[in-house]
Amino acid sequence: MYDDQPRAGGATMLMNRVETALVNSPPRRWLQRFYEVRLLTALGARTPGARAVEIGCGPGFGTTLILDKFGAASVDAVDLDPAMINRAERRLRRYGDSVRLAQGSATNLDAAFHAFGGGADASYDAVFDFAIIHHIPNWRDALAEAARVLKPGGRFFFDEVTATALMRTSYRVLFDQPSEDRFTTGEFLAELPRHGLDIGERWTTRVGGDYLVGVAFRSDRGRP
């Protein structure tokens, strides 16, 4: 079973051991810092002074990049896994009040950020998704939520794993991820405008369509 709530009992985590080790590894940090950030910046520019959200922050390395490389002023970050939030807390302590962390789901930021009064409609300049939405069974709800919290003109930065990758034997053997209703590049891009997110040509794929990277703008016309 894989849903968007932490599993009961605490023994089974959202990601299996292999993926948890990978997410916490130096190669993952290197890739994020020297490849993904550069590609996302080329597609959607930096975000100096932004009030940002990071969904699925994992151990918090992406949050440091949003602050240090994209130039955001603050980040409200959420992860479903309490163990990841603990790791992120340790990593991000030095940023003080610029970072607020919450355990909860990217599909309900209002609830996740309720304790510190975050997650309101149209209240953020940028939302960052570093490889998390493919983990969410109801992935369309995560897009709707990202769009909801963005101000008109706000940017949604995403770096995603498509159904093409998830169907590969290596992925299926190594990782424990949802397999039903995963998105292709076309399906993900087609879903964005349904939530008032304009993508235009600001996207690209990598490794034969396994990875989709892009930046969508929150339309000032709202949801169509």
- Could you give the CA distance from residue 114 to residue 135 in angstroms, rounded to a whole number? 23
Using the minimum distance from each CB to ligand SAM, give the nearer residue, 128 or 203.
128
Using the minimum distance from each CB to ligand SAM, give the nearer residue, 76 or 79.
79
Cβ 121 to ligand SAM, closest distance in Å?
19
Contact set for ligand SAM, span 46-85 (CB under 6 A):
55-58, 62, 78-81, 84
Tokens representing residue 163 in the block:
């159904």
Most distant CA pair in the chain: distance in Å? 45
User: What residue has token string 């970050």?
Assistant: 77
Radius of gyration of the chain (CA): 16
Using the minimum distance from each CB to ligand SAM, give the nearer residue, 55 or 67.
55
What are the residues facing 157 on neighbouring strands?
Answer: 128, 215
Using the minimum distance from each CB to ligand SAM, give the nearer residue, 142 or 216.
142
Cβ 111 to ligand SAM, closest distance in Å?
11
72 phi and psi, to 5 degrees? -60, 150
CB contact at 8 A, 72 and 52: yes
Under the binding rule (CB under 6 A), the answer on residue 105 touching ligand SAM is: yes
Contact set for ligand SAM, span 150-209 (CB under 6 A):
none
- Could you give the CA distance from residue 49 to residue 73 in angstroms, rounded to a whole number? 4
Cβ 40 to ligand SAM, closest distance in Å?
12
Residues that bind ligand SAM (CB under 6 A): 4, 14-15, 23, 28, 32, 55-58, 62, 78-81, 84, 105-107, 130-132, 135-136
